[in-house]
Amino acid sequence: MRESYTSVKILLVLFLVAILASCSAKQPLPTEEERLEARKQVPCIVVLPVDTAVNSDASMTYKKAAVLEEGAAFMDTIFVEEFIDNNSVRVLSARQLTSLIPEDSGAQLALIKRVGSELKCTAVLVTTLSDYRQRVGGSYGADSPASAMFAMKLVSARSGEVLWTSVFKETQQSLMSNILAQNRGFTWITVEELIRQGIAEKIAECPYL
């Protein structure tokens, strides 16, 4: 009985240590003062359609390319939901971007500057999705967990300076690790849920948004 009690105590200590480690690894959120100052500097932001490495990676298989494009389209809908009530942020669909700038603008920076100039916005948010894998299995027993990775970069439309950048990279871990991961719940989540939570986290971390 005593050995069992000791084992429980050890597990509890390890559990608490892991929680503290998880909390300390989380990015600190900007203060309200920092947000106000950042938004004074950048009063208008354009969100471009989510990009992938499909066109730049010749070794990518058709299946992976299709999955990434599907993930990018899903992310576009989440950005619309996140910013629907934010008057300082304009989310462009792929069709709207093509309508605004019909011809190929070449380099990404040239595109950013043109979009900013056309829409009279201070900065442009560029998001690139590089990993989008669905879980294999159910909510309480997954053979392969959901995995996602994307990078977000806010660029000045005038100077091309990177004002803010961040990367979300996560593969859901085992049940114990999953318990320790904040906001992930106690079940195996889908890649859509992982992406949705990741976008919300990154938006909360960015003082300009």
CATH (domain of 83): 3.40.50
Q: What is the mean pLDDT of residues 124-142?
A: 78
pLDDT in tens, 40-64: 999 999 999 999 977 777 778 888 8
pLDDT-wise least confident of 18-22, 80-84, 151-155, 156-160: 18-22
What the block records as the tokens of 2 is 């005593």
Poorest-pLDDT segment among 23-27, 53-57, 88-92, 190-194: 23-27
Nearest to 169 by CA among 133, 205, 126, 139: 133
| Pair 172, 134: CB distance under 8 Å | no
Please, which pLDDT band fits residue 138 given cuts at 50, 70 and 90? low
Residue 97, in any domain of the structure: yes
State the pTM of this model.
Answer: 0.79
C-beta atoms surrounding 75 within 10 Å: 23
38: burial class by Cβ within 10 Å (0-12, 13-18, 19+)?
middle
Is 77 among the domain residues? yes
Q: In this structure, is residue 5 part of a structural domain?
A: no
pLDDT at 13 over 50: no
| 76-102 per-residue burial string, b: 16 or more CB within 10 A, e: under 16 | bebbeebbeeeeebbbbeeeebeeeee
Inside any domain, residue 12: no
Residue 9, domain member (yes or no) = no
CB count in 10 Å sphere of residue 65: 15
Domain of residue 142 covers 29-205
DSSP three-state, residue 63? helix
Q: Is residue 1 part of a domain?
A: no
H runs (alpha helix) in 31-173? 32-41, 62-83, 94-100, 108-119
Question: Within a domain: residue 42?
Answer: yes
Q: Count of domains in the chain?
A: 1
Residue 201 has pLDDT above 70, yes or no: yes
Please report whether residue 73 resides in a domain. Answer: yes
